[in-house]
Amino acid sequence: MPASQARARARDRNNVLNRAEFLSLNQPLKGNQESRSSSRKQSGQTGAAGSQNSIPKERRQSQQLPEEDCMQLNPSFKGIAFNSLLAIDICMSKRLGVCASTASSWGGARSMINLLGITGHGIPWIAGTLICLVKSSTLAGQEVLMNLLLALLLDIMMVAGLQKLAKRKGPYDITPGLLDYLTMDTYAFPAGHASRAAMLSKFLLSHLVLASPLRVLLVLWALAVGLSRVMLGRHHVTDVLSGFLCGYLQFRLVEWIWMSSNTCQMLISIW
């Protein structure tokens, strides 16, 4: 026994880890252990108290989350449907833009389609209405022409305002012409030519006595003007449809604020 104990003590003395400079690595001090245990207890107590206090806060915050954040994480059905319809609209408009340039599939008919679009422009119709108003000698004719002039001016202002708000570009990068700049028809939504054609066709059908073939031709002309704007690559399909709707609303507005014959005569005398 004494010999084995002596050998064990010799091994302990020869062990490098038993030296004083390495004792802190093998056997942590009691003060450190006590401080760590006390800090763990304090952190555990504060953590328990904090968790109790934070649970209702987290619940309140989760209840106060805006719906926009939820929609960004989980897109709604309306958002998906809107994006799908927008993609379909762009695809259809690209396919129907067969006269967007001379290199397109129907590039040879571009000049004829462009001429059809000019028939729905505001400047020729305003100029023609003014000429007819000067040459008109009947009170009924002057009343109709004055209200038609009001409808044309209202159409230009309404379409220009909506286009400035939307600022939607057409399916193709096409520079507007001089007549488009004069009527401030430089953006795509809504289609000014389509709204004007719809308003004019409805106005003329309501206030002019026309035969049935002429009435059918007038409706076909309005539809052809709207289609020509898509074929030229200036507007999307939804732009033309919204233009038709705007034209109908403009007609209803003019009918509501219809100027009487006396008012028209007063304005003509001032002019």
Q: Based on the residue annotation, tell me whether 207 is a catalytic residue of this protein.
A: no
Distances (CA, A) of 21 to 15, 26, 30, 136: 12, 10, 17, 117
Q: With contact defined as beta carbons under 8 Å apart, do 117 and 228 qualify?
A: yes
Distances (CA, A) of 101 to 96, 130, 169, 182, 234: 12, 34, 17, 23, 11
CA-nearest of 132, 248, 259, 150 to 196 is 248
- Of residues 121, 207, 235, 236, which has the active-site annotation? 235
Distance of CA 53 to the CA centre of its chain: 44
| Residue at token pair 């002039």 | 149
Distances (CA, A) of 168 to 196, 244, 262: 19, 17, 42
Q: Based on the residue annotation, tell me whether 235 is a catalytic residue of this protein.
A: yes
- Of residues 121, 193, 207, 236, which has the active-site annotation? 193
Structure tokens at 72: 């960004």
Q: Kindly list the catalytic residues.
A: 193, 235
